[in-house]
Amino acid sequence: MKLTGNTILITGGSSGIGLAFAKKLSELGNEVIITGRSQDRLDAAVKETPKLIGIRSDAGSAKATAELARDVKAKYPAINVLFNNAGIMVYKNLAAFEDLDKLTSEIDINLSGPIRLVSALIDSLKANKGTIINVSSGLAFVPLQAAPVYCATKAAIHSYTISLRQQLAEHGVEVVELMPPAVKTELAPLPDDGSVKVISTEQLVDATLKALEKGKAEIRPGQANQLRFMSRVAPNFIAGQLAKGSKSLIPPG
């Protein structure tokens, strides 16, 4: 993927990983559109980086996704990069009852959201010979017991992205999967006992852009690559280690 001269849509771009990528990609000479559910956060992001374009949208809503796609295609027909980054992570106690609407919110945003938006923008992405970047996680390979639904959505995105890449190859659309390790953001608190190595958003952006320049289809910075390796050579061991490390994060029943 070329790193300049693109028209890029980044979902969940008003904070965290998404905003870090938005700032850097804008700095490199791209037109960058960011989305988010909070208008205040979008306004703050655009105020800090005036070249960014903010559009309020909810990745978990099919209606909002359709409206977003219509708006983007009408105003920014040159769109050639879709960066599916929006996501939430919720620690859950599966032994306790939870409101059924809230129970699947991670599926709506993390999994259904990217699938819907790809479909809504696919004609433009094919016409512009574009690139789709789906953000999954190193936890796509080994689940964290405290975040069971989140990890399931990331494993599903990993599988979906492989099929998407295969189907879109003949249409000239590049499909990339970014699998971050633990990154210091507001996504969810992590154990503070030193068992989890956390990288900064700047480190993630730097590693990702280098990999994109090299044309890598799967980008697994830091411990994400280690999780993939361990899931193959010692799956029970690594699953047990993550289970122990995250047990204290499970909410009380």
Which amino acids are annotated catalytic?
150
Question: Which secondary-structure segment (H or E) carries 41?
Answer: helix 39-48
Q: Which DSSP category does 248 fall into?
A: G
CA contacts within 13 A on the Cβ side of 38: 11
Sequence-ordered alpha helix ranges (H) in 49-147? 62-75, 100-103, 105-106, 113-127
Task: Copy the structure tokens of residue 162.
Answer: 């492989």
> From CA 228, how far away is CA 245, in angstroms rounded?
18
Radius of gyration (C-alpha) of the chain in whole angstroms:
18
Task: Copy the structure tokens of residue 214.
Answer: 């090299």
Is-contact 16 201, C-beta < 8 A? yes
The 10 Å Cβ neighbour count of residue 10 is: 27
